[in-house]
Amino acid sequence: MPDPSPSVSISAEREVDARQRLISVTLDEQSIGRGAADQEHERAIAIYDLIEDNSFALEGHDGGPYALFIALHDAKLVFDVRDETGASVVTHILSLTPFKRLLKDYFLVCETYYAAIRTATPSRIEAIDMGRRGLHNEGAALLAERLKGKIRCDSDTARRLFTLITALHWKG
C-alpha cells in the first residue's frame, strides 16, 4: 500500500502557497503623484496583474493572504501589511535613498520612451524599451534585496511592486 504522507505534504504546501499571496493592494492617495494616461494605465495593470498572480510571504509569519497598503512618508517607503480582515500584521519602512538614482534614470528613460512611441522608428523604440526594462529589472532586484529578511516575493511580484513604487513618484 502506498504511503499517503506525500499527498498530505503536497496538499499542505498548496494551502500554504495559497495563503502566501496578496489579495489587495492600495496606494496611499496622499502620496501618489498623478501621472499621464500611459503611466496611470501601467499602474492599473500592475495592480491587476499583481493581484492575479503573486507570491508574497512575511518572514517568520505563516499567515496570509495579505492586503498591502503602500505609501510614502517622510521620504521613506511604507509597506503596511494587513491580514484579509484588515488587521495590521506588520509595517516595514524602507529608505528610498538606494532607489534615488535608479528612479531618476528610470523616469528619464520612460519620458524618452513615451515620446519615442509617437515618432521614432520601431528599432529605436525597441532599443529604448530594452533600456527601460533593464532599469525596471534592476529596480525589482533592489527592492527584493531591501525586503530580504522581511518579505519574500518572486521576481514578477517584485517587478510589479517596483512599478507601484514608481507610481508614488510620478509627477504628471
pLDDT at 46: 84
Lowest pLDDT segment from 11-15, 55-59, 64-68:
11-15
Torsion angle, CA of 34/39/42/43, rounded to 10 degrees? -20
pLDDT at 159: 93
Which cell is 128 given? Answer: 529604448
Burial class of 99 by CB neighbour count within 10 A (0 to 12, 13 to 18, 19+)? buried
Q: What are the domain boundaries of the chain?
A: 5-167
pLDDT at 126: 95
> What is the Cα–Cα distance from 72 to 101, expressed in whole angstroms?
17
User: DSSP E strands: which ranges in 53-154?
Assistant: 56-58, 66-73, 76-83, 88-95, 151-153
pLDDT at 171: 56
